[in-house]
Chain A
Amino acid sequence: MATKKPAKKKPVKETKTKSTKKNPKKEMATVFIMGKAHEVPAEATIMGAIEYSGYQIIRGAGCREGFCGACATVYRLPDDYKIYTGLACTTLIEDGMWLSQLPAIPAQRPVYDIKKLEANVATFQKLYPEVFRCLACNTCTKACPQDLEVMDYIQAAIRGDIEKVMDISFDCLSCGMCAIRCPAEIVQYNVGLLARRLYGKYLAKESKQLKKRIKEIKEHKYDKEYQELKSMKTEDLKKKYYERNLE
């Protein structure tokens, strides 16, 4: 279908019109949700398929856009021995997929006070000693739906290279897939989170501008300007707004 559709006269709906592209009958696929077969649209995401089949999700959906990690899902495919991991909200189903969501991931987590920690390897030794049992098997990396180099950040933690852990783990969703697959029982995402916090607090270079601005505000430098703006008539304020120059 390479032809362009003719321009139409004013569609009525704001978001959707009756398509002029005659959608051929929706293609369907079979998925096994927790073992039970369901017919669902072939182009659905896993989350879409679950809801289409009549489940009201309570656990297993958060942001629905790939940011929160609430929707961890494990699945297998026909004629394939492998176990796969994915986010239900962004992974497309495949015909014959056998899937199950993980409602929660058990993971221990020590309580700490970031103010009392130091940004070095000793902190990992104290809080997450199991990190040092990493077998370098790379299973975590294979399990990561964000395609992060998870093993590399764990190895960086072992070396005490906090900046590297921060950098590699930055896009981690705490979905827990790495942790449930790890033979050394490491909870990678908590290690990443700790490293990022240590980096932000102790290692990131300070901004002089920021310090200066905060001081200016404390010294009431902007009071007068605010007063002026607040006492302006709306007309004058509008004028000032539309005339302001842009950087």
Chain B
Amino acid sequence: MYPEYMNESLKKVTQSRNKRFELAKSGKPVFPPMSAEEREQVLDKFHPDYKPEARRKIHVGPNKGEKLTTEVADMLESHSRIKPELFDLAQADYETDILIIGGGGAGCAAAIIAMENGAKSIISTKLRLGDSNSMMSQGGMQAAVTSQDSPAKHYLDAIGGGHFDNKPELVRILTEDGPEVVKWLEDLGVVWDKNEDGSLQVLHGGGTSRKRMHSCRDYTGAIIMRTLMDVVRNHPDKITSLEFMPTVELILDNKGRCAGGILYNLETEEYFTVKAKATIITTGGYGRLHIRGYDTTNHYGATGDGLVIAYRVGAKLLYMDSVQYHPTGSVFPEQIAGFLITEKIRGAGGQPLNKHGELFVFPREPRDVESSAFIKECLEKNNGIETPSGRFGVWLDSPLIEMLQGEGYINKNFPAMHRQFIRYGIDITAEPMLVYPSLHYQNGGIEIDEKCKTNIPGLYVAGEATGGVHGRNRLMGNSVLDYNVYGRRAGKYVAESIKSVKLGPLTLEHISNYESELKRAKIKTDRIAPVLLPSYTPENVKKRQLTAHYQGTLR
């Protein structure tokens, strides 16, 4: 239930609804989309990335001298969790063809395709298999299937959305493999939303010129992820998942080839070595670093670990100066602050409104532009709605959807959203939601080529942990596509590439070298990475933990 003081503003939303409905029904744009200049202006002034403190120079490693997101630079300039000299690498605890780090969507897709191409794998994962950002996507996956659409149109949308910084060949592969991925997933048993005649239901997303968002109600990620997990679990002889066993460092061989990793059992606190002919990093994003203090939509284990371990062996990062804030994170009630409200709400006709009940931006600008417009409306124009805890938000008018798409549409298509709010006495079929940008996606990452290869032999990356596919801004629906397209590719190419691989003696020398580099750069810090899990332990509790030893965020 909304506090009483919001009633006046809520009333204005209701009052303006009929007029907005008429306009939306007419098919004309409900608000003029921004020109290139207008986009630039609002980004420059209001996007959190463009604040001077948001980025800083990094002093070590392959991207030395470049400006990165401050929190990322901090994380990279930190110490290892391990002392290399304590490990006996002559005798590995596990040996396999491929070590896959991260049991989310990209990791499972890679394991499945690698298996089909004759390679065995071990999936090292931090939480349970499937506990990941992939499980959470609600809105859907882009793929150009309809006759009005084409893969090339999808390409242009993705490049424009990414501010023309995307690596063109990666976008071509992303968009051209899309339809095949829809089919592959359906053959595995994913239940897509379809029309009576079997054609796929499609909706718009931010920055799309054609309707091409495919979905499974608003449990798209959960349906896909559980299907992939089920396939993985049906092949225990080929794919071994090690849960609550995150990888904390990579291992190289004496020729500089990546040869596996060091795993840490979060429960027994033991370390294990895995020797593998090749390694695929699929650790996803970094929302739980809470960049610039923002709430996040991401799962508990999204701490950017893959970036750290790859950087220490010398892998290059790309576009790690750009962070994606999802325009519609929830801001009220407090308990669900930061939770994602899917962009499909706007795709289906939902509109962002200020406290006067007015539309102030085209509802489907690319995410960074839309987010910046929300921030501007709240911070510069003072047209936001303040919550009891001092947050700001704008309305997201969902009842309009029921008018546009017919009664019952929300319950049928947004059951997760409806559930999320009804728990707090807010019925989104009758009342709008209150939203503000939330930290959502790691736009950049480890640089890869078309075969998911990095500059380190034997090291591959797929999914959100990579950089280049989305330029500096990802469009909705392109990242579920990304982890499928590139997860599959990684599985295929790695399985092919390892046939002739002979590893030399293993080493962790790169860890000591990195430590020396930190010292030479005169970096004095007690930071430890990978972060593994965020800590939400209150300060007063920590003060009493007199004999606790913290390594980074973890005891």
Contact = CB atoms under 8 A, between A and B. Distances in A.
A199 B191 contact: yes
Contact of A56 (B135, B200, B419, B537): B537
A44 B538 CA distance: 14
Contacts, number: 269
A244 interface: yes
Given A4-B5, A48-B335, A62-B131, A171 B189 contact: no
Interface stretch (A107-115, A130-138, A151-159): A107-115
Contacts of A114: 188-189, 231, 234
Contacts of A90: 335-336, 420, 423
A205 B194 contact: yes
Nearest to B329: A15
29 contacts: A19-B388, A21-B388, A59-B127, A59-B244, A63-B136, A65-B340, A66-B420, A67-B135, A67-B221, A67-B416, A171-B416, A197-B230, A199-B189, A200-B190, A205-B198, A207-B194, A209-B146, A214-B180, A222-B151, A226-B172, A229-B155, A230-B172, A237-B159, A242-B35, A244-B153, A244-B157, A245-B209, A247-B148, A247-B209
Interface residues of B, number: 114
B390 A210 contact: no
A63 B131 contact: yes
Interface stretch (B15-23, B375-383, B447-455): B375-383
B197 to A, nearest CB: 7
B189 A52 contact: no
Interface in A7-46: 7-11, 13-21, 23, 43-45
A83 to B, nearest CB: 20
A247 B157 CA distance: 13
Interface string B133-176: 00110000000111111111101110110001000110010001
A246 B223 CA distance: 30
Nearest to B196: A205
A209 B183 contact: no
A246 B209 contact: yes
Contacts of B423: 90, 92
Interface in B437-474: none
A164 to B, nearest CB: 13
Interface stretch (B89-97, B272-280, B290-298): B290-298
A201 B187 contact: yes
Nearest to A55: B537
B191 A113 contact: no
B317 to A, nearest CB: 23
A112 B222 contact: no
Nearest to A174: B226
Given A15-B294, A58-B244, A63-B131, A226 B176 contact: yes
A230 B132 CA distance: 34
A126 interface: no
A204 B198 contact: yes
Contacts of B191: 166, 170, 196, 199-200, 204
